[in-house]
Amino acid sequence: MNQHVQHNQDAAPRVVTRADHTVSRANISRNALKVLNRLHQNGYQAFLVGGAVRDILLGREPKDFDVATDASPEQIGELFRNSRLIGRRFRLAHVHFGREIIEVATFRGGADDVETDGGGRILRDNIYGAIHEDVWRRDFTVNSLYYNIEDFSIWDYTGGFDDVQNRLLRLIGDPEARYREDPVRMLRAARFAASLDFTIETETEAPIAELASIINDVPPARLFEEVLKLFLKGSALSSFEHLRRYGLLQYLFPETVACMELPNAGSFRDLLRAALANTDQRVEEGKPVTPVFLLAVLLWGPITQRVAAIANERHGPVFWLHRATDEVVEGQQQYIAIPRRLAAPMREIVCLQPRFANKGPARVRRLLGHPRFRAAYDLLMLRIAVGEEDPALGEFWTEAQNEPVEAENPEEPRPRRRRRRRGPHRRRPRDQDDG
């Protein structure tokens, strides 16, 4: 089906009975079931919605569980003492169970009463309604399936059940209007297509390249959160390729894209792909991943290009690398707001690279003890793999981590320290008996 899903508020849902779908309570978090059952027992409608239903149908393990209900945020707060109301654009409740949070949202009302700006972007959305209104406010059909805790059926208003089976990503409503309402939906389309291995439906795909620039209307802090979802969830390489294909990457990392398009940028492109593939492998193996290393790799090309443009003989290469890193990071903040807690260690990873060339025993010991050594070493090894550095350098530092570093020659004279002369006001008082 290539026609987008038209809004029909009076349409009844297709009800998929428990016998005809694979969603089981065994696949649902115990805490999500507690929330669903308590809402239902107190007379409210309660549905598991969104990605959890989609993922269970696909045989995947959901990462989080969202609940939709006709209870108001205040009523949810009364039922759950462990809940907290959040959100300005749309009010909802977070119900806390230790480290797990179940998000509970009241059904949203019709789109006609939503406050938007001149470009159609939603500013405020605290309009509550019924399930048959809420469904048309969701983004993609595969995210608009409602699992009913009352009889364990799935309610489908938009054809999302078939789209999951056909692995098709399709927007609800007119695609151009929905992207203008919230430009982040274009990033979500790229992310879902990459992570789920779905095909983006023709009409959903068509406006993305033309509207890509409105991504810059989104606050940089929100874009940073979206970048983490794109690159740290196990589909970084595929997400990267989707962002490039639809012209979205240049509005997230403009200097990175400009650097990739240079005639001599082959090694940087290879470096990026190798780092993204390595990140995906670590996620698959259950190993930790960090945005710090990924940001260092994404900005490595622009930083080295900047060094080449500004360096002169007045200072050494380390000085120019520090300066170029600061300038590139400052420019990047206009597009994606990198928090200081991540920007500072990212600078260290980049600026440690020249120190690998110094193999003096004392320098080696200091570098091995640096808190960013391992991440800097990983970047070095990637640079060696794409031909930027001599493989012998990598062999030296690999061995240095496994073998004790040669001690300094004890016979070598140490430089004499200059003793600070005490001023008259700090002179030690003489004993009266001394004179």
Instruction: Assign 3-class secondary structure to 270-299.
Output: HHHHHHHHHHHHHHHCCCCCCHHHHHHHHH
Cβ–Cβ under 8 Å, residues 355 and 364? no
In a domain, 233, yes or no: no
Mean per-residue pLDDT, 405-426: 52
Secondary structure letter of residue 264 according to DSSP: T
Mean per-residue pLDDT, 51-57: 97
Residue 156 neighbours by CB under 8 Å, 6+ apart: 13, 14, 15, 16, 144, 145, 146
Residue with tokens 């991440």: 375
H or E stretch at 114: none
Is residue 160 located within the same domain as residue 55?
yes
Is residue 171 located within the same domain as residue 265?
no
Say how many residues make up the chain.
435
For 251-298, the pLDDT digits (tens) are 999 999 999 999 888 899 999 999 999 999 999 999 999 999 999 999
> Quick one: pLDDT at residue 201?
97
Selecting among 55, 70, 134, 139, the annotated active-site residue is 139
In a domain, 196, yes or no: no
Mean per-residue pLDDT, 54-59: 97
Is residue 147 located within the same domain as residue 2?
yes
**Distance between CA 38 and CA 33 in Å, rounded?**
8
In a domain, 31, yes or no: yes
Where is average pLDDT lowest: 107-111, 208-212, 342-346? 107-111
Give the confidence band of 403 by pLDDT, cuts at 50, 70, 90.
confident
Of 164, 179, 194, which residue sits at a domain end?
A: 179
Reported pTM: 0.84
How far is C-alpha 315 from the chain's CA centre?
37
Give the confidence band of 11 by pLDDT, cuts at 50, 70, 90.
confident
Split into its structural domains, the chain has a count of 2
Cβ–Cβ under 8 Å, residues 218 and 183? yes
Domain span holding position 172: 1-179
The residue among 119 and 66 whose pLDDT is bigger is: 66
Where is average pLDDT lowest: 31-40, 101-110, 211-220? 101-110
Residue 64: active-site member: yes
Is residue 173 located within the same domain as residue 58?
yes
Structure tokens at 371: 């808190």
Is residue 11 located within the same domain as residue 121?
yes
In a domain, 211, yes or no: no
**Distance between CA 258 and CA 332 in Å, rounded?**
13
Q: What percent of the chain has pLDDT over 70?
A: 86
Residue 139: active-site member: yes
In a domain, 51, yes or no: yes
Of 179, 208, 231, which residue sits at a domain end?
A: 179
In a domain, 224, yes or no: no
Report which of 315, 186, 170 is spatially closest to residue 246, judged by C-alpha positions: 186
CATH classification of the domain holding 25 = 3.30.460.10
H or E stretch at 155: strand 154-156
> Quick one: pLDDT at residue 235?
96
Cβ–Cβ under 8 Å, residues 229 and 189? no
Structure tokens at 380: 């070095």
Of 160, 179, 198, which residue sits at a domain end?
A: 179
Is residue 142 located within the same domain as residue 260?
no
> For residue 167, is it left (φ>0), alpha (ψ between -120 and 50) or beta?
left
Mean pLDDT, the chain, integer:
89
For 321-333, the pLDDT digits (tens) are 999 999 999 999 9
> Quick one: pLDDT at residue 118?
57
Above 90 in pLDDT, residue 8? Answer: no
CATH classification of the domain holding 301 = 1.10.3090.10
Above 90 in pLDDT, residue 59? Answer: yes
By CB neighbour count within 10 A (0-12 exposed, 13-18 middle, 19+ buried), where does 212 fall? buried
Above 80 in pLDDT, residue 77? Answer: yes
Is residue 162 located within the same domain as residue 292?
no
Residue 398 neighbours by CB under 8 Å, 6+ apart: none
Is residue 267 located within the same domain as residue 387?
yes
Structure tokens at 286: 């259950």
> Quick one: pLDDT at residue 311?
82
Is residue 314 located within the same domain as residue 166?
no
In a domain, 281, yes or no: yes
For 382-397, the pLDDT digits (tens) are 999 999 999 999 999 9
The residue among 422 and 229 whose pLDDT is bigger is: 229
Residue 125: active-site member: no
How far is C-alpha 286 from the chain's CA centre?
17
Selecting among 66, 125, 134, 182, the annotated active-site residue is 66
Is residue 168 located within the same domain as residue 277?
no
For 131-178, the pLDDT digits (tens) are 999 999 899 999 999 999 999 999 999 999 999 999 999 999 999 999
Burial 227-254 (b: 16+ CB within 10 A, else e): beebbbbbbbbbbbbbbeebbbbbbbbb
> Quick one: pLDDT at residue 410?
41
Is residue 129 located within the same domain as residue 269?
no
For 25-47, the pLDDT digits (tens) are 999 999 999 999 999 999 999 99
Is residue 151 located within the same domain as residue 3?
yes
In a domain, 420, yes or no: no
